[in-house]
Amino acid sequence: MTMENLIALETDARLDAAAKRLSMSRRELLQFCASLATTLGLAEGADAAIAQAVATKKRPSVIWLHFQECTGCTESLLRAEHPTLDKLILDVISLDYHETLFAAAGHQVEAARKQAMTDHKGKYILVVEGAIPTKDGGIYCKIGGKTAIELLKECAADAAAVIAIGSCASWGGMPSTDPNPTGASSVAQVLGKPVVTIPGCPPNPYNFLSTVVHFLTFGKLPAVDQLGRPKFAYSRLIHENCERRAHFDAGRFAMEFGDDGHRQGFCLYKLGCKGPETYANCSVILFGDAGAGTWPVACGHPCIGCTEKGIGFQKPIHALAKLKNLEPGAFLPRIVEEKGVGASLGAAAVLAAVVGVGVGAGAKFTKNLGLSHAAEEMEKARASTQATPKSTEV
């Protein structure tokens, strides 16, 4: 699609019709498209392409499967406000199969799924929520007489794209924790091929929406990292853009829940926050459309690393995170910022001398981060006993 400017679409009546369908004003629709383009890190003119796609392109058919999960991913989607779920599934996508949201049941639901697969063969998007049990032939989850393994492979065979939504579908999540009695596995493991993964427990609904709108606009899914996660949402550490980051850099930490540091909004690193080793955009786009502070760390609870395999539901909540870098946040501008190409992972590193910790001081600082409060006191006591003055000869 040719990249245009939103101003060039000012007289396009199709945008007015799309805005009316979505119960938005024209301005709100354009703001929505511009926000998606920014979130996706797309080049200049992509906002206009998104607006045209939403206004004119046929809604993609979506088949949504449920397996081993708590329905939290769907619950998160239900709370999206821009647009609301009813507008999303009626005007942006065509949700042709979803066990939780369907009014029908039994044979009617299965017939709807098969009809959608036939009518949109090779064109529908398959979304999978929940882990897939593989032990004992997959008997621990059956729908319509078929195991989760059989149903997943059947639906994935003719899908244009497969999206694993939530940590359970992305890498096994909570169901796969030891001893994993059902052999819970990820979508990619069962299919034996890479898929787009949108981890989180639950994931932010706008990461899913942005992924689908990218597919609608450009006919392909967004760029992903080595774990299949869209780079626009999972390329930066939570720690880099956390509102408590300044306290981390200054060495101000909450030591216990409810202590003075905790009440004053100090860094939660020593309470087990996994933000320094977790890639996600939670601290940037927040959660639940409930206003400022609507994400776990802002509410006073450490990040548990739910978007990271081997951390969320594996590493104890109280265990200290591994520091992956000490780069400043993405909001700090570079000396030269290319237009319309997005920022690279290390784009802000050159500002470390100004807003970060110096190399020498940083090494000493990070050495002590792993010590608990009690351990620090013991270390101080031991150091004081070793510092006794030497005797002098007369």
CB 38 within 8 A of CB 6: no
Q: What pLDDT, on a 0 to 100 scale, did the predictor assign at position 105?
A: 79
Inform me whether the pLDDT recorded for 377 exceeds 70.
no
What average pLDDT score do residues 131-159 get? 94
Stretch among 124-128, 178-182, 264-268, 385-389 having the lowest mean pLDDT: 385-389
Residue extents of the structural domains in the chain: 58-233, 236-381
What average pLDDT score do residues 250-262 get? 94
HEC-encoded secondary structure of the chain: CCCCCHHHHCCCHHHHHHHHHCCCCHHHHHHHHHHHHHHHCCCCCHHHHHHHHHHHCCCCEEEEEECECCCHHHHHHHCCECCEHHHHHHHHCEEEEECCCCCCCCHHHHHHHHHHHHHCCCCCEEEEECEEECHHHHCCCEECCEEHHHHHHHHHCCCCEEEEECHHHHHCCHHHCCCCCCCEECHHHHHCCCCEEECCCCCCHHHHHHHHHHHHHHCCCCCECCCCCEHHHHCCEHHHHCCCHHHHHHCCECCCCCCHHHHCCCECHHHCCCHHHCECCHHHHCCCCCCCCCCCCCCCCCCCCCCCCCCCCCCCCCCCCCCCCCCCCCCCCCCCCCCCCCCCCCCCHHHHHHHCCCHHHHHHHHHHHCCCHHHHHHHHHHHHHHCCCCCCCC
Stated pTM of the model: 0.73
- The C-alpha atoms of residue 130 and residue 66 are separated, in whole angstroms, by 6
Mean pLDDT over the full length of the chain: 79
Level-2 CATH architecture, domain 236-381: Irregular (4.10)
Stretch among 227-231, 280-284, 354-358 having the lowest mean pLDDT: 354-358
- The C-alpha atoms of residue 64 and residue 78 are separated, in whole angstroms, by 14
pLDDT in tens, 28-39: 777 777 777 776
Inform me whether the pLDDT recorded for 184 exceeds 50.
yes
Per CATH, domain 58-233 is 3.40.50.700: yes
Inform me whether the pLDDT recorded for 306 exceeds 80.
yes
- The C-alpha atoms of residue 246 and residue 253 are separated, in whole angstroms, by 11
- The C-alpha atoms of residue 38 and residue 210 are separated, in whole angstroms, by 10
Q: What pLDDT, on a 0 to 100 scale, did the predictor assign at position 368?
A: 40
Inform me whether the pLDDT recorded for 155 exceeds 80.
yes
Whether 236-381 and 58-233 are alike in CATH topology: the answer is no
pLDDT confidence of 88, banded at 50, 70, 90? low
pLDDT confidence of 344, banded at 50, 70, 90? very low
- The C-alpha atoms of residue 367 and residue 284 are separated, in whole angstroms, by 28
- Bigger pLDDT: 360 vs 373: 373
- Bigger pLDDT: 175 vs 53: 175
